[in-house]
Structure 1
Amino acid sequence: MAIDQMAVSTINPATTLMHREAGEGGDAVARFLEANASTLTRIAERLRADPPKGATTCARGSSDHAATYGKYLIETLIGVPTSTAALSVASIYDAPVMAADSLCIAISQSGRSPDLLTSVKAHKDSGAFVVALVNDFTSPLADLADEALPLCAGPELSVAATKSYIVSLAGLAALVAEWAGDDGLKAAVYALPDQLRAAFDRDWSHALPTLEDATNLFVIGRGYGFGIAQEAALKLKETCALHAEAFSSAEVRHGPMAIVREGFPILAFATSDTAGDGVREVAAEFLSRGAKVELADAGGGVTSTLPAGRFEPALEPILMIQSFYRFANALSLRRGLNPDAPPHLNKVTRTV
């Protein structure tokens, strides 16, 4: 715990930058959808007219977790194989990239990380169609892309990315809904702003005693929910100094679950679809071992401890991470930390 725990823990959680910025998620998504409607349609028309043979995402940190979510959307709703670029292949090894007839999706808050730009340029020079989701529309990434979608999240002053991550998820969902011609998903995406506002008001304080003095935990998700499990684990590390590892509910069975014993903390996100069934099953098994399981279950299961509304299953993770951000902010303060300024971190990471 930090030395100034008593002083920090008396701060009203609603006064932090992280709380304020995370709470702007719904408004930010509304701005994104309004600003990018015609661009999304144009991109989707091109992708349908000239279908890519594959898709590659370029991102780091929270943006890479958004890319994980995008991968599941593209592969389940479009059927195009989607992989994650190892940015060092271009920036460190200067290896050739064969990306003709492919889609490259770059995601970044700043649009200025050198290794990201190097990788995106290598894909573009090789013939990839580059689409960028970027918050800073004056950035080199926005200039480099064939099509750029401004996140419209506005300035994000807290080191921990929140609203830009939420808009990245919503932007990917909007893009795939247009590409797939899925009117139902598209309508649900446009209903997200109000849903996000409601999600931010959900009370997850039940999990505060479980994690206040924890040192390690697993964060579990599956399918559309795996990317937010990755993001939640990162936020617990950077804002709460809590070692958290993200696992798919399927992957956790391959070895990691052996360390889950009496009192071991678990945070789990279950969507209302069949992917959520796997999370619920693992959560039940961990409970039977005496683990401390905090479960956000959009399916409304009896073991759920954290409120999560049922919605379009592909979009439920966006609502759950919105609720989680408010919780993580409060947990950080409870643990005597400042969620706005994690030690040793900067807002823009300029990785070469």
Structure 2
Amino acid sequence: MTEFETHMAREIAEAPEAVARMLATNAKALTELGRLYRERKPSHIVTCARGSSDCAASYFKYLVEITLGLPCCSVGASVVSVYGARLALRDTLLLTISQSGKSPDIIAFQAEAKRAGIPTLAVTNTEDSPLAREADLCLPLCAGIEQSVAATKSFITSAAMAAGLTAAAAGDARFSDALQALPDDLAKALALRWSDAEDMLTESHSSFVLGRGPSLPMAQEATLKLKETGGLHAEAYSAAEVLHGPMELVTEGFPVLVFSPKDQALATTRETARRLSDAGAHVITPDYAATRHPLLDPISLIQTFYGSAERIARRRGRNPDRPRLLKKVTETR
């Protein structure tokens, strides 16, 4: 038996090295982008992405709004590609994130942004893709080839890129230094195993994954992976929003996984977990490998979770590399 039984397991293990490679490759570009951001002083930032990439864009949104105090909004590509809208974009820039760089709707949205005259930045794992070629600036993820349909190391490098862009724009030396140490921290996260969560989710039919602030996009990414690799129905909610309706679905033993980094939301997230537990839910809040900055802890959480997702899929009798109805590149219009 080989060390890694699946492509997904091997690619999860490659993520720390991929992050180090991405940071080294993009060091000069990130420094320059930070300088340009401070010169331009945009009033807001626009993102466009789908699937796992949109979870990375959502993480970027929280980092930008918390660190820079700047509104950041995700705009649906279909308003251009399907509905033909002409967008009044100004005093901003567009960040697209796409692992393949081939989705026609994301490419169409980027073209509309260029028509409107705003700078376009493309984050992609495919440097010769149409999205990369047509952007004003391409920031390569350098994650290497992913053979598993489920994106793992390319998502982690996308999230690390989001942190890199934010730290550069903020001129935050502490954040930047913590980011340079992230590959080592992710290696520690890789070594953790959430056995209790794996046991709980392997046997479940439906579940919640909770987060708040920057950990919410990681909860969303986690449920996406549970669906596509494990065939498990799972929904992500904010630890605040779950109390506004979804809590009614909780019955005795209902599985709830809580992503709870030690940030400003810790107290309120713990209170939500307690209320769900009192309602009968089986709540697990797993330990994680802390990073050198609380805003990076969500990346550590998803690094550890990915290993659990791969094992859950195999325990449920599924091949995590080959979902039944999915393929690696999804070209939506």
Normalising to structure 2: TM-score of the pair? 0.97
Aligned partner of residue 60 in structure 2, secondary structure: helix
Distance across 1 between alignment mates of 2:293 and 2:275: 27
Q: For the Cα contact (< 8 Å) 1:13–1:19, is it kept in 2?
A: no
> Structure 2 matches for 1:131-280, cutoff 5 A?
131-280=121-270
Please name the residue that 1:115 is paired with. Answer: 105
**Identity fraction in percent:** 47
Please name the residue that 2:299 is paired with. Answer: 318
Please name the residue that 1:301 is paired with. Answer: none
Question: What residue identity is the alignment partner of 2:210?
Answer: I
Shift of 1:13: 8.5
Q: For the Cα contact (< 8 Å) 1:222–1:249, is it kept in 2?
A: yes
Q: For the Cα contact (< 8 Å) 2:178–2:291, is it kept in 1?
A: no
Question: What residue identity is the alignment partner of 1:245?
Answer: E
1:206-260 Cα offsets, whole Å, 9 max, x none, are 2122111211001100001011000001000000111111100111111111111
> Structure 2 matches for 1:57-136, cutoff 5 A?
57-136=47-126
Question: What residue identity is the alignment partner of 2:117?
Answer: G
Please name the residue that 1:4 is paired with. Answer: none
Shift of 1:262: 1.0
Shift of 1:277: 2.3
Distance across 2 between alignment mates of 1:217 and 1:42: 43
Shift of 1:308: 4.0
Please name the residue that 2:18 is paired with. Answer: 28
Shift of 1:309: 2.9
Please name the residue that 2:312 is paired with. Answer: 331
Aligned partner of residue 294 in structure 2, secondary structure: coil
Shift of 1:275: 1.6
Distance across 2 between alignment mates of 1:45 and 1:144: 23
Aligned pair 1:14/2:4, yes or no? yes
Distance across 2 between alignment mates of 1:53 and 1:327: 40
Shift of 1:307: 3.9
Aligned partner of residue 287 in structure 1, secondary structure: helix
Distance across 2 between alignment mates of 1:218 and 1:31: 34
> Structure 2 matches for 1:48-63, cutoff 5 A?
48-63=38-53
Shift of 1:269: 0.2
Q: For the Cα contact (< 8 Å) 1:203–1:307, is it kept in 2?
A: no
Q: For the Cα contact (< 8 Å) 1:224–1:317, is it kept in 2?
A: yes
Question: What residue identity is the alignment partner of 1:121?
Answer: A
Please name the residue that 2:322 is paired with. Answer: 341
Q: How many residues align?
A: 333
Q: For the Cα contact (< 8 Å) 1:101–1:127, is it kept in 2?
A: no
Distance across 2 between alignment mates of 1:184 and 1:84: 27
Aligned partner of residue 132 in structure 1, secondary structure: strand
Distance across 1 between alignment mates of 2:13 and 2:290: 17
Question: What residue identity is the alignment partner of 2:24?
Answer: E
Distance across 2 between alignment mates of 1:322 and 1:12: 21
Q: For the Cα contact (< 8 Å) 1:13–1:333, is it kept in 2?
A: no
Q: For the Cα contact (< 8 Å) 2:185–2:291, is it kept in 1?
A: no
RMSD value over aligned CA atoms? 1.3
Aligned partner of residue 14 in structure 1, secondary structure: coil
Distance across 2 between alignment mates of 1:166 and 1:40: 17
Distance across 1 between alignment mates of 2:255 and 2:196: 13
1:26-64 Cα offsets, whole Å, 9 max, x none, are 000000011000001111111110111211111000000
Aligned pair 1:41/2:31, yes or no? yes
Distance across 2 between alignment mates of 1:60 and 1:272: 28
- Aligned CA distance change for structure 1 residues 55 and 223 (closer, same or farther; 3 Å): same
Normalising to structure 1: TM-score of the pair? 0.92
Distance across 2 between alignment mates of 1:72 and 1:343: 33
Q: For the Cα contact (< 8 Å) 1:272–1:310, is it kept in 2?
A: no
Question: What residue identity is the alignment partner of 2:108?
Answer: T
Distance across 1 between alignment mates of 2:288 and 2:69: 32
Distance across 2 between alignment mates of 1:307 and 1:164: 21
Q: Which runs of 5+ in 1 are unaligned?
A: 1-10, 297-305
1:131-182 Cα offsets, whole Å, 9 max, x none, are 1110000101111211111000000110000000000000010111011010
